[in-house]
Every structure is written in C-alpha cells, then in structure tokens.
Structure 1
Amino acid sequence: MKFLIPTAKEMKQDSTPSLQEIPSQTQPILEQLASFSAEELAHLYKIKPKAAELEYERLQAIQKGQAQAYPALHLFNGLMYRHIKRQSLSTNESAFLEKNVFIASALYGIIPAFEEIAPHRLDFNTKLSIAGQSLKSYWRKDFDRFALENDPLISLLSSEFMDVFSPKVRSQLTIVKFLETKDGRLKSHSTISKKARGAFLTQAIQKQCQTIEDLQTLSFEGFHYQANLSSAKELVFVKEQDD
C-alpha cells in the first residue's frame, strides 16, 4: 500500500542542500520553461514581475545544473505539509515514509517523499505545451503505470492531480474524503481537507498502516472513519463540529 500526496506552492528551504540532478522526463518541460523570459513567465503563471524574475533565475540555475536541491517532503511547506510529522522521526517512521509515501509533481512526475528537488513553481493547470501535449497528458502514462504497479494506491490528491490519471486507472485509486458535520449537515472545504490529509498521513505513519483495514481504525484531530458513508474505493472520515 502506497500513499500519494500533492505538491504545494509554499516552500521552505531549511535543510542542507545538494546539487540538483535532472530526471530525463523532466528535461523537456524544463527546456520549455527555461526558454521563457521573466516577462513571459509572469504571464504564464499570472504572477508579479518580481516573483517572475525569481522563477526565471531558478529555472536557469536548474537547467545549468547549478540549482540547490532539497528533500521534497521538507521543501514543500503548504498547509497539508505542516500537518505531516516530518521532524524527530523514529527509525520506523522514517522507513515508512521512504518506502510508502510519494509526491505527485508537475515537473518531476511521481517521486519518493525524500527525493531531492529544486525549488520551482509549476502545477498541472499551467497552460504549457510539451511536444503538443498538456502537462497532464505528458505525465499520464507514467502516473497510470505507477498506480497499476502499486495497488492499492491511497490518493490524498486534489482534483487537479487526479485528472492526470486516465479515467479507468483513476477509478481504481482509493481516495480519502474528510468532512465536518455541523447542525446535522456534512460539509467540506479546502482548509479542512488540507489539514486533515496531513493529520491522516501522520497517523498512518505512526501506526505503520499496511492495509485498508488499518486505515479504517485511525482517529485524528476529531475525525473518525464512517463506514456508512464509505465505499470500496472511498474512505470517508467525519469530524463532529461543536455548535
């Protein structure tokens, strides 16, 4: 059983860096991005000139093999990542992360949690054409292959990342949904989901979960598994919210 999590826009460079090695599948994307000027990157990413200039410098450094790289799990620092246990790991916890947790990236594909990557800005919604293909189409075969070779695959991805998989393979993934109930109504929103994904994964790491049945026993930050709302390919956890 493997876990697949998304990247994050927020990054934090607080570990010892090493030099970046560029995977072959990344090279065509990098060549395209590195060919853009800072002004073109500002338009592509819809960001301010100062941020675009920073991204331009990052891309040039990656392409020249001069970029500093960091373990992906520590580099990304979005809300979900801040709720994943990443420090003071036991030997078993570290081994579990290394063996079972993978990150879906628009630049690097699916990579192990501790894979060293360079800081960058790219997501699957970026309108970039690689040999006439969108980023989602470019990576689809690799993503499908990974899913088929790692069944069951537990997806903690948002729809942006799920859409990379072909419809047939997507239907085979086991997704996890997080809901809160208030006044008898179930609700979900981005903040709830991001925090809960991190807390869920932390519990899975700490409990060394090996099966779907193990995941169903988890409780975290008020969330509990709800069998009546779940199905074979969807695990639903609900948190009772005080009035």
Structure 2
Amino acid sequence: MKFLIPTAKEMADPGSIPAQQLSEQSQAILAAVSCLSADQLTAFYKISPAAAQKEWQRWQDLLAGTASSYPAIQLFNGLMYRQIDRENLDYLAEHVLITSALYGVIGATFPIAEHRLDFQQHLKIDGHSLKTYWRPLYDQAVSGEDLLISLLSSEFETVFSPTVQERFVRVLFHEEKAGQLKTHSTISKKGRGLLLKQAQQKNVNTLKQLKKLSFEQFNYREELSNPQQLVFVRKVD
C-alpha cells in the first residue's frame, strides 16, 4: 500500500540534512527555471516582485549546489501536512510517496531543497509540458505497487497516465449538515492529513483497515463509496 500525496507551497524549517544529487530530469528543470530573472519569475509565478526575488535566490542556490536540504515530509507545511505526525517517520517512509514537479515521485523522507514549482506553471522542457515530461517516470515509480491510495488533487493525479489513474483508490471527504453533503479544499486537505495520521497510528496496511478508521468525527460511508472511491463524512450541527 502506498499513499500518494501532493507537495505544498507553504514550507517550514525542520533542520537540514545532507543533500542528494538531482536526477538528470530535475537538472533539466533547474536549468530552465534558474535562467529566468526575478522579473520574469514575477510573471511566471504570478507573485509580488519581493516574493519572486526570494524564489530567484532559491533557484540560484540550487544551481550553485549551496541550497540546504530537508526531509520532504517535514519541509512542506501546508494544511494537509500539518495534520500528520511528522516526528514518527517509519510508517511514512514505507507507505507515502510525494509527487513533485521538480523531483518526480519521491519517498516521504527524500532530501529536497526549498523551491516553488507546480504543474500549473507554464514551463517547457525539451518541448514538453511538465506533466508530459514527467508522465513516464511517474508511471514507472508506481509500476510495482498493488494498492495506490490517492490523496492527490486533480493537478497531480493527471500527471499519471489514464491507465495508472484507473488503478487509484481515491479518498473523498465531506461534511454533512441537515442531510446535505458539502466539500471544499479546506475540508479535503485537512481530511487527507488526518486520515494519514490515523493510518500511521493504526499501522494500516490494507483497504479493509483503512475503511475502519474514524477520526475527528469523520467516518467511512459505504453507501456513498465504490471500489475506486472511499468517502468519509463528518456530521456538523
């Protein structure tokens, strides 16, 4: 069983670890982005000039080999990540894969540098979009896995080929109020992190065990689910 999770824009500083050399594919992306000026990065990211200057320096540090590296699961600090127990890494190292636009599909504790890049940025590598550039290696990274639990947004899911996506078991999170179900990004991101935390604590290794999890009033709803989609619902007043 492997959980697939996305990266996050927000990052923390968990303490650096020795770096790992970038793959050939990552080096090509680094070469393409690091040649952009701070002004060009302002448009590239659609961020302020001050924020773009910060990103420019990160890319230059990566290019120079002076960037610090951190375990990926501890560096990213978005809402989903903050729900996870990131002090206990054994389960995460075995069962979690992070999908990155710079590094590819990596293990939870893989050492990475601070950077900002996702699949919404318009970047061509050897004439390919980031998604088509990474697709063969994304597929290859999960080729031997028998159970793939997708906690990905569509942005990251669609990097994989349609054939691989058909193998995903997706997990959805809803709130129920007065008999009506609703969802939005905050519910989804928090639910994904809480689910993963419970899987850590219960040492979940099977789909049957996953369905039995209950957390923060979220419970599995069989009547809303199907073999490729698990639905967890939390009732609210």
TM-score range normalised by the length of the shorter chain: over 0.9
Shift of 1:183: 1.2
Shift of 1:148: 2.6
Q: Give the stretch that moved more between structures: 139-148 or 123-132.
A: 139-148
**Cα displacement string for residues 167-216 of structure 1 (whole angstroms, at most 9, x for unaligned residues):** 22112111100011011111110000111100000001111111101100
1:138-217 equivalences in 2 (<5 Å):
138-217=133-212
Q: Is the 8 A contact 2:173 2:187 kept in 1?
A: yes
2:27 aligned partner: 27
Shift of 1:71: 0.6
TM-score by length of structure 1 reads: 0.95
**Aligned equivalents of 1:151, 1:157: Cα separation in 2:** 18
Q: Is the 8 A contact 1:102 1:113 kept in 2?
A: yes
**Aligned equivalents of 2:214, 2:107: Cα separation in 1:** 26
Runs of 4+ in 1 over 6 A off after TM superposition: none
1:119 aligned partner: 114
Q: Is the 8 A contact 1:15 1:74 kept in 2?
A: no
Q: Is the 8 A contact 1:178 1:237 kept in 2?
A: yes
**Aligned equivalents of 1:71, 1:48: Cα separation in 2:** 28
Shift of 1:20: 5.0
- Cα RMSD (Å): 1.1
1:2 aligned partner: 2
> Structure 1 vs Structure 2: percent identity of aligned residues?
51
1:136 aligned partner: 131
Q: Secondary structure at the match of 1:77?
A: coil
Q: Secondary structure at the match of 1:199?
A: helix
1:25-174 equivalences in 2 (<5 Å):
25-87=25-87, 89=88, 94-174=89-169
Q: Is the 8 A contact 2:149 2:168 kept in 1?
A: yes
1:224 aligned partner: 219
**Aligned equivalents of 2:93, 2:17: Cα separation in 1:** 18
Which runs of 5 or more structure 2 residues have no equivalent in the other structure?
none
**Cα displacement string for residues 22-73 of structure 1 (whole angstroms, at most 9, x for unaligned residues):** 1222011010001111111111111111111111111111011111011111
TM-score by length of structure 2 reads: 0.97
Shift of 1:166: 1.3
Q: Secondary structure at the match of 1:18?
A: coil
Shift of 1:143: 1.4
Which runs of 5 or more structure 1 residues have no equivalent in the other structure?
none
Shift of 1:108: 0.4
Shift of 1:86: 1.0
**Aligned equivalents of 1:48, 1:192: Cα separation in 2:** 28
Q: How many residues are paired up?
A: 237
